[in-house]
Structure 1
Amino acid sequence: MQLTPLGPGSAKGSVASVKAISVNPVDTKSRAPKDKAEKTPRVLGWDASGVVSAVGPDVTLFKPGDTVYYAGDLTRPGTNQQFQLVDERIVGRKPTSLSDTEAAALPLTASLHWEFMFTRAMYHAPEMIEQHQLLTRVADLIDAGTLRTTLTTTLGPINATNLREAHRLVESGTMIGKVVLEGWG
């Protein structure tokens, strides 16, 4: 598959075949009604795990077939889709000891400074690579048994009905841990 440039940073983009997504409070806030309706629909979602299916010409960190996990970029369509173009600099190697479901629960919660994950990607800051390094270090700590996933609830497959249920759970204010959706069946 050949990637067509899709804007700033697309040459460093990888296409991820999304296997699992998690729903975060930021997802419910992004979906919530606003004072002004958006002109075009958009794909929501931030956390995902999956498999690299194609890479852009400048990609050096991953190759097709690599398993990855990441938190998306506010300037691009979200993770609630089967294939997603994502900049390699905000993607980490998925911990080998975790399933796709367990890994999808981690990207936002794995960082003490999660808000910078969005800012780096949004502004294509030179230190975007630090997100890759952070997620890779978290993967190493998980594989060493030092950290664990925050997954507590799994729903599947990824579809509108289960996304509504995941959002309901997060919005209830009683959710402990992360809810993850897996599979497209």
Structure 2
Amino acid sequence: MKAIGYKYAGPVDGNGALQMIDMQSPKIGPHDLLVAVKGISVNPVDVKLRAARAPEDVSGVLGFDAAGTVVEVGSEVSRYAVGDDVFYAGDVTRAGTNSELHAVDERIVGKKPAKLDFVESAGLPLTSITAWEMLFDSFRLSENAGEGQSLLVIGGAGGVGSILIQLAKTLTKLTVIATASRSETETWVRKMGADHVIDHRGDMVAQLKALDLTPTYVAALTATDQHWPAIVELIAPRGHIALIDDPGNLDIGPAKPKALTISWEFMFTRSMFETVDITVQRDLLNRVSDMIDAGTLQSTVTERADALTVETLTQAHKLQESGRVIGKQVLPGLPS
């Protein structure tokens, strides 16, 4: 089958970055589905892995979002059958979705939203899982909880922020404050449902005081090390900070007087370690699919390529590296 992979760690324009390759079709395990990939998206994890980690084999196939149709099932598969349309975020320890066919554990796979086509559907899984786990695993919120409390989403216009704002407004009673530093990102986060918008390039503490809001929860989605002193100052005592980026060095000492909780969200944990609750990801993706079809959630796609080629995927990686992506980037699957 055809796939787009890489051979060496380094810049996207470097030697060996993102090239079309021929490789064997995946062999599936007992819990696996073999999926004909019809839509993918690009996430920061793709860029980080390509730039920093040489592949363990010559393929180096990235991609951790997909929508497609099941063409084969493993011996212990019980939830899906050949012909089912699915979407999912995959497993960072396995070959990625930038390929014609992809093997994935059925326990982390959801049914594709009927309202969206395959390409648009591929923009949802990874960010939806991340946002959902942040709200209900990290913050330990219950649905319809949070009345009188607020959530600050730092980097609200990115992929995770765009769906996190929607989930928080739809499934909890939290007041949602999103940060945005450009007119177009401010417009976007308001479209996603943010109650208030502040500028993370300005004095966030002063801006929140002007709103008379003290967040109980902070979702630190980008530049956490830069914003850390302000986060600790602006959050409520016994508040909770959840982060998804990779700050080099955080001094957590100042968090002690407020008895703050600090946690990382990493949506690949359940699939990497095959946790006892691995099927939570399947269940939440099915909820997201139902909410899309019911019109209570909206797509976060803003960039859509006409074809998946080395050139279009390279451009998508470059845009991710710019740090200016709004919402999600999606591409069709490789033509078979």
TM-score calculated relative to the size of structure 1: 0.90
SS state of the match for residue 277, structure 2? helix
**Contact 2:87–2:109, Cα closer than 8 Å, also in 1:** yes
Moved over 4 A (4+): 3-6
Q: Which residue of 1 aligns with 2:99?
A: 81
The answer to whether 1:133 aligns with 2:133 is no
Instruction: Tell me, in whole angstroms, the C-alpha distance in 1 between the residues paired with 2:127 and 2:74.
Output: 28
The answer to whether 1:46 aligns with 2:46 is no
The answer to whether 1:18 aligns with 2:37 is yes
**Contact 2:110–2:285, Cα closer than 8 Å, also in 1:** yes
Match of 2:304 among 154, 166, 176: 154
The answer to whether 1:122 aligns with 2:272 is yes
| Counterpart amino acid of residue 311 in structure 2 | T
Instruction: Tell me, in whole angstroms, the C-alpha distance in 2 between the residues paired with 1:5 and 1:94.
Output: 23
Change (3 A) 1:39 1:101: closer
Q: CA RMSD in A?
A: 1.8
The answer to whether 1:177 aligns with 2:327 is yes
Displacement after TM superposition at 1:183 (Å): 3.5
Deviations for 1:147-168, whole angstroms, at most 9, x for unmatched residues? 0111111113222111101101
Instruction: Tell me, in whole angstroms, the C-alpha distance in 2 between the residues paired with 1:153 and 1:166.
Output: 9
Instruction: Tell me, in whole angstroms, the C-alpha distance in 1 between the residues paired with 2:268 and 2:320.
Output: 20
Q: Which residue of 2 aligns with 1:30?
A: 49
Q: Which residue of 1 aligns with 2:293?
A: 143
Instruction: Tell me, in whole angstroms, the C-alpha distance in 1 between the residues paired with 2:26 and 2:39.
Output: 25
Q: Which residue of 1 aligns with 2:208?
A: none
Deviations for 1:86-131, whole angstroms, at most 9, x for unmatched residues? 0000000001001111110000111322745311111111211111
**Contact 2:92–2:268, Cα closer than 8 Å, also in 1:** yes
SS state of the match for residue 278, structure 2? helix
Displacement after TM superposition at 1:4 (Å): 8.8
1:105-120 matched pairs, under 5 angstroms: 105-111=123-129, 112=131, 113=133, 115-120=265-270
**Contact 2:37–2:69, Cα closer than 8 Å, also in 1:** yes
Gaps of 5+ in 2: 1-24, 135-264
**Contact 2:41–2:64, Cα closer than 8 Å, also in 1:** yes
Identity, % of aligned pairs?
Answer: 48
**Contact 2:33–2:73, Cα closer than 8 Å, also in 1:** yes
Q: Which residue of 1 aligns with 2:117?
A: 99
Q: Which residue of 2 aligns with 1:163?
A: 313
Change (3 A) 1:156 1:183: farther
Q: Which residue of 2 aligns with 1:67?
A: 85
Gaps of 5+ in 1: none
Larger radius of gyration: 2
How many residues align? The count is 178
Instruction: Tell me, in whole angstroms, the C-alpha distance in 2 between the residues paired with 1:151 and 1:16.
Output: 22
Greater relative contact order, per chain length (Cα 8 Å cut-off, separation 6+): 1
**Contact 2:98–2:333, Cα closer than 8 Å, also in 1:** no
Instruction: Tell me, in whole angstroms, the C-alpha distance in 1 between the residues paired with 2:118 and 2:27.
Output: 28
Q: Bigger CA drift: 116-125 or 85-94?
A: 116-125
SS state of the match for residue 138, structure 1? helix
